[in-house]
Amino acid sequence: MKSGLTRVGGHELEYLLQDQRSGTAIVFFSGLRAPYDSWKSVYEPLSKSHTVLAYNRPGIGRSTKPNVKQDGTRAIADCRQLLKSLSLDPPYVLVGHSIGGLYANLMARHTPESVSAVVLVESAYPHEEQRYEGLPRPWILRAFHGVIGLVERIRGNTGQLNEVRFVDRTSSAVESAPPFPPVPVAVVTGEQAMPFVPEEAVRIHQQCQTEFLNLSPNARQFMAANSGHVPQLTEPTVVVEAIEWAIRSI
């Protein structure tokens, strides 16, 4: 697989590419502050027969720090420019984890002609955190919701341009975007709850995951029985199965 840096939108993005020169390209959107190799156990088996692209958003890995606000609109603009610079033609299968699921959701709505399927891996649901209002210990709930904010504080990444500050804006962008296209949607959901998370919060999160099935008439949920929020690390075979199903369903 080829790795490198390419200039996109005023900054350099680090990427990993296996170009099979045929078939549909699989594009990975990582979760908050997660490097592209968080998908390693997923993209390695898939790369034997599919074109795969994983990359680090600004400020992650060797990608340069962001110089503009990192909301969903910027994220999908960077992704589209990266795909163009690498001469990867559509359509694409978009695979998004956590906040990356919001980006995949948004990109599918704005560029339906370029997307053939979407795989949401423990994806954040638009404004999911608002459903937790009134529940105890909201700091735990924010951690439960895609580990958004908690990871930023641990790593000291609290700059004004970081994507964690624009999650609400990205959620609103998804809600106001054009309708989701009628493409296959695979939803990968971890069944294991985070420690100390209230039972009601777990129920809400699982309900949000189920609601993703309403995005498309051709949608299927894949349950990762031994996983929490990161099944691509704990049960990558389930994620691979979901992606392969989505490709077969195109």
Query: Which pLDDT tens digits describe the chain residue by residue (250 residues)?
Result: 999 999 997 889 999 999 988 788 999 999 988 999 999 999 999 999 999 999 999 989 999 988 778 889 999 999 999 999 999 999 999 999 999 999 999 999 999 999 999 999 999 999 988 887 777 654 444 554 445 444 444 444 445 556 776 788 999 999 999 999 999 999 999 999 877 778 888 899 999 999 999 999 999 999 999 999 999 999 999 999 999 999 999 9
CA separation, residue 4 to residues 62, 70, 85, 107 (Å): 9, 22, 12, 24
* Cα dihedral value 223, 230, 12, 70, nearest 10: 90
> Domain range for residue 110?
2-248
Q: What share of the chain is helix, strand, coil (3-state, %, to 5)?
A: 40, 20, 40
Position 166 scores a pLDDT of 74
The domain that holds 45 is classified in CATH as 3.40.50.1820
pLDDT at 201: 85
Tokens, residue 39: 């998908």
Alpha-carbon dihedral sign for residues 12, 18, 19, 23: negative
pLDDT, residue 87, reads 95
pLDDT (0 to 100) of residue 151: 47
Per the document, the length of the chain is 250
CB 146 within 8 A of CB 99: yes
State residue 154's pLDDT score.
Answer: 43
> Distance (Å, rounded) from C-alpha 104 to C-alpha 59?
19
How many separate domains does the chain show? Answer: 1
pLDDT score at 142: 54
